[in-house]
Structure 1
């Protein structure tokens, strides 16, 4: 499956993303009670940050997911683990489908990881999912992430986890790039 990525635009995407982050399935994003203006402000803050980006993912021209890419040394992870050159952080939110499709989230995850590893300097993807988010923890493991340690962040208890290029390649062996 082929997805396209474009930078998220606070004005153009706030209403859509508000409809996603305020649904129960997105509770781990911590925005269930957010207003559309708060979502717009969050996107604007990301857009203004020199070490954090938000990307919209499209499936055949239809918005399908939001992916955030950030440098861990310039994030709440700074000082919580020894950041390596080539580390890149990632957050992912798949939008609610009009028609559920088996394997869709895995296809999105695979595409996001390939997108991140396309950058030549990226050696390892870093994630810090809430310890209660069993779905993303299982998906991370499926794609080669290894849990390193429990960490306390301002908004959650999280599993700091890493996936190297080699771990991802092993996990997706036989899957076309």
Structure 2
């Protein structure tokens, strides 16, 4: 297994959860772990269940090359627990589905499999740390999420975290040599810091 030398971009002590760190994904070092997460049934809404480890690495190499899209491996007290992604909404397919405002930053979150029983406050603690990171970026004025419209648990979690629900939209298919994303029905959700 390859070891990444990338440094965390955000470290935060979350009460009741521990120390949460966000480190840019190293496609070669992290592909096997990410592949093990995205191909599980519980990750079906992520849209990569049939992907090979090589394809996962290629996808995150593409993300790594971009200046508008970023992927982070999230650790809690050193243990990998989630995959977090941010992107400029004006430079993503979501920009075709709603009126993008300056400073709109999109987010994706995939919580990794847990060991043992689910912990109360775990997801909300992670979301709080992610919002702290994203909102600390000078360019972010509003956070935009677009979970699969069928993912009722994710939508409910966003509402509990202070997001306001927007319309249901259809994200268009992307079919490029380096990445293919099928069309997807998504539910928009918005977090504006001045409203919370």
Fold match (TM-score > 0.5): yes
* CA RMSD in angstroms, aligned pairs only: 1.2
Paired positions, count: 168
Partners in 2 of 1:105 and 1:80 — Cα distance?
27
Whether 1:123 aligns to 2:141 is: yes
Which residue pairs with 1:58 in the alignment? 75
Which residue pairs with 2:126 in the alignment? 108
Which residue pairs with 1:40 in the alignment? 57
Structure 2 unaligned regions, length at least 5: 1-13, 174-182
Partners in 1 of 2:100 and 2:138 — Cα distance?
17
What SS is found at the alignment partner of 1:46?
helix
Which residue pairs with 2:10 in the alignment? none
Partners in 1 of 2:104 and 2:153 — Cα distance?
23
What is the TM-score when the length of structure 2 is the normalising length?
0.82
1:13 is aligned, of 8, 27, 30, to: 30
Structure 1 unaligned regions, length at least 5: 171-177
What SS is found at the alignment partner of 2:94?
coil
Higher helix share: 1
1:11-47 per-position Cα deviation (integer Å, ceiling 9, x unaligned):
0100000110011110001111111011101111111
Partners in 2 of 1:120 and 1:101 — Cα distance?
33
